Structures are given as structure tokens and as C-alpha cells.
Structure 1
Amino acid sequence: MPITIPKQLPAHATLEKENIFIMDTVRATTQDIRPLNIVIVNLMPEKERTETQLLRLLGNSPLQVLVTFLHTATHDSKTVSKSHLNQFYQTFHSIKHKRFDGMIITGAPVEMLAFEEVNYWEELKMIMEWSKTHVTSVLHICWAAQAALYYHYGIGKYALPAKCTGVFPHTISHSTVELIRGFDDEFLAPHSRYTGTSLADVQADSRLMVLAATTDDDPFIMISKDEKHIMLTGHFEYDFDTLAEEYDRDRTKGLNPAIPKNYFPDNNPKKTPLHRWRSHAHLLFSNWLNYYVYQETPYEWK
């Protein structure tokens, strides 16, 4: 089944070329079907790229998905046009009276700031609090995962000695949990961040489970035992070349970045990296939509 998005959204043409089953909102209104309503709080600077990455993963499911994009009203984005935001995005104030089957909160390049120093932190706190009663399941990515751990469970983040960037092997635990059903015992996923989360702190909280961690004991996939919150400290949604573009960007800025680990063939930035996490990314998003959104959400919200 398709994802339903506006035909004018730039991601529409890209996904159509990739043979992702998409449907514009006009056609969707003619079908007598109850789609899953997913709201995406997009905090990333390059919003159009993040839209395409997430829609690609949401479209690989037998379920019809209707997507609403949200941007923060308390932060002016300098890397996306106001016309794009006005045409395709809403703010929390305009949707807070609604209920959604699922929500995704993306990462954001604000890791080095204390949470309280982020200019939209109070607004994000309102959204996370609202989600407790208005959303069936919430998927948090990278910085948003750390924000959720901090807001909901009081678990902080810490600065890393150097940026964590690259594609890392992970091992799973609690293999019977449906979110990672079908996962290999070891799998790869990309990370790109300056801060970390203590595995011991997460394991010490009886409300949480760590489902996958790096071989260096860095937690990656976490879930609350009530299955309301899912936290991913990495970037399953990344394209094969996203880390390469980040590396080139930082070199251009004169930041002397480290080469992403286990990413470029022969550790040579001139060689094209392979996409080695695609299958597990699709599997996780499909499992989330099926087991934590579709099977848990009421047909009609009351």
C-alpha cells in the first residue's frame, strides 16, 4: 500500500523514480480506507533530504500511511525556504487537537548544547508531553533519542572525546521483541554524533530495554517496556552517501574531520561507499509500523 503525500512535495518525484508506491492526497480521498496517520517532527536542517529518507522507509510496508510534517514555531530554519515550510508543514499549535497513530522526531545538530539551551526545547517538551495521550507510538532518532531519554526518563548525555562517525557493527539482545524481529545477530548501522548515552544508565532504568548496542557497548536501539517510546541513537534513514557529504562539508569548513570509520572502501574517501544497512533499516521501520502502530492503535480515536 502507498504512502500518501502532496504531489508537489519534492520527495514525490524521487520516490516515484525509485518505484516506491506513493499516492497524492487528492487520489487518496477517493479510497474508503483508514490510513495510518503519522506525524514527522523534522528538526534536521536539510528538511527535503530527510523527508525523502524517511518516506522511503515508511513506503516499504503493506499499510497505507498518511504523513503530516511538523516544524518548530520557535526556531527559524535558515536552510529551507519559507515557501516549502508554508506549503508542506504545520506547527504544533495547528495539530495539537488531533490524534496520531505514530510520530517520528528526527535528530538535530544541537548535541553540544544543553537541552535547556536549545531555543525550541520548551516547544519540544510540549510535543513530547502531548504525545503521551495523543500518539500511539513515538520513534526518536539520534539527538531526539537523547532528548526523549532525558525528558521521559531523566537520563542525560555526555560529550564524546571525538565525533562518532561511521558504520558500526551491532549485536542484538531480547531477540524476541517484535521491533527487531528478523534481525541478524550482528548488523551494521551508521552513526554521526558528538555525544553519547551511558549503557549502564539505560540498563539501570527498569522502564527501558536495550535491544541493540555497538560491539563497544554503545546503546543504539532502545524501547520502553510499555512500548510507547523507541529510541535510535544512530541513523538508519541515512543514504549511502550521507556520511561522505558530512565529511566533505566538515573538510570544507576546515574542521579537519576524521574519516568515518568502516565506511569508505579501503578507508579511501575517493571511493564510493556501499549501502550496507538498507535491509535492516527497512525491517525496523516495517516492524514499527506493523507491531507498534497498526496493531496497537484504535480504528477510531475517541
Structure 2
Amino acid sequence: MSRWRELLDPELEPVLDALPAVDFVDYQRFRAASDAGAAARAREVEPGEIEIADREVGPDGRTASVRLYRPPARPEPRPAVLHLHGGGFVSGSSDASHARNVELSRELGAVVVSVDYRRAPEHPYPAPLDDCETALRWLIAAATDLGVDPGRIALHGVSAGGALAAGLAIRVRGELAPCFQFLSVPITDDRLATASMLRYDDTPIWSRRVGEVSWAHYLGDLAPGSADVPAEAAPGRASIDDLRGLPPAYVAVMELDPLCDEGLSYAAMLAEAGVAVEAHRFPGAFHAAFTAEPSAGMSRRYLAEEIAVLARALGMER
């Protein structure tokens, strides 16, 4: 057993017993409970002046389910954020990130589009990534109607959503041009071979064992760890040439997260490819700890930095 408890930020200790045990083996039971809890929390959010609508969108006959957040109208085009939620490709929804998306729209003055992409294992790769691409293409095509500046659209992905955001940037490189990619505690590599992944098999929220099942569900007929897995599915497999010309990026990782080292490795590869990238390793924190205990000092720093980084990337820095 790893020594992560000795390194844990003391402010995070009180929430450990309340954290759900992630179970992607009995994924239907876990997903149902997760969805119900997220929906209940979403109903408690006061959106204020943020206009919210669930829509089916997409150009060329393809559609994706999205939740659209729009702040009060401005005379000039606004930036936009395409949000891709976490949940290990298996769970998660727009409800789960609803409160934060309201805050992002309000704080940034941005249109936020949260994609309810289809989930594995019923819909393995490439279906979730296809939905994210459909939503991005719709957002660009509908920019004038939405009052959005198509040159200021940031990709924003958390955990599995980080994999999808990074994979989407690779897929549309040279054709579509998001201005930024914000990758928070991203899943990037199905090979599960980094030092942090091998070290942490019993950490909260995410562990190597959870990752094994998650990747098996997402990749479907593709065997995790095999040579057949493409970089757009597992961005950690990308070559330097795959990454050249991608938009600037920010990568946030947590010290006690099995995903820590692969996130840092991906940031280093982006830098080697000439992509402007910033990486921040938050000490003493487990996977997505900022959602489990948002009042902790570490979480407050992360959440403030998230707003600051996106504001700068979107030209909204104050």
C-alpha cells in the first residue's frame, strides 16, 4: 500500500470517509447513483442572470446533447468555453459540473457549452469524441447567433474530459482552431505505466485499478496497451509531430493522483512540440480534490487559477 496518507493535505482528510467508492465494474449501479446525486445538486444551484438551456445541436445531420450557459448580452462578441465533464468515460454529466459552469459563465462573461457526450461502455471510442467534435463544430457555426467570437473558443476538460479535450485538439488540428486547451487532472495514457500510476493503487476517487476498467470500457474493441490505440483516444501516445501547431495549454495535476505523472509528461511533450504550455502540480491532493472539498486552501488556489488562466486565454483578463 502506498504512503499517500502521510502526504495528504490535512484540510482534505475530513472528506475521505464521505467520498464515494468508484466502481466501474458494476458501472450501471454506480452511474445511476452518481447521476441522481449530481441532478439533486444541480437543482440547488441559483443561476442568477445566467440563461441555461439543454439542447440537441450539430451541423450536417449529426447531433450532440449540450447544456448552454449564456451570460447577459454584451455589445461585442463574447468568448466561449467548450466544457467536457469527467467521470472516467463511464459516468459524469452536465449536472455534475453544473455549479462550476454557472460560475465560469458568470466570472468570465463567456458562453459555456457543456457536452453530454455518450458514455462507455455502451458507446466506446470514438463515439464520445465524435460528440465533442460535433458540439465544437456547431459552436463555431452558430457563433454569430450566440454572440460568440469564433476566434476565442477554449476547450475545457476535466479528468476523462481532459482526455477528450486533448484528443479533440489533435483531431481537428489544422482545420478548426480553438484558442486554448485547459486540461484539468487529465487522463492521457492507457498504458498505465508511469511511476505515479504504479505507485497509487488505493488512492481516493482514482486508482490504477479504476483506470484499468475505465480504459477497457472506453476503448471497446481496442485492447488497452496495444499498438492499435490512436493518439486521439489516448493523447499520451502522441508523437511530437502530432502535437505541433496545437493551441496553447494549461495542465493541472494533483500530487497524490495516479494520473499525475502522465499529465506532466503530456505537458512536457507539448512544450517539446513548441506549444505554449503551463503546468501546475498541486501538492498533497488526490484526483479532483477541488470538487470533493472546494473550501480547502488548495482547492481555492486551483479554482482561482482556473478563472485567471481562462480569462487570460480568452482575452478577458482584468
Tell me which protein shows more helix as a share of its residues. Answer: 2
- Structure whose residues are more often strand by fraction: 1
TM-score category, normalised to shorter length: 0.3 to 0.5
TM-score (norm 1): 0.45
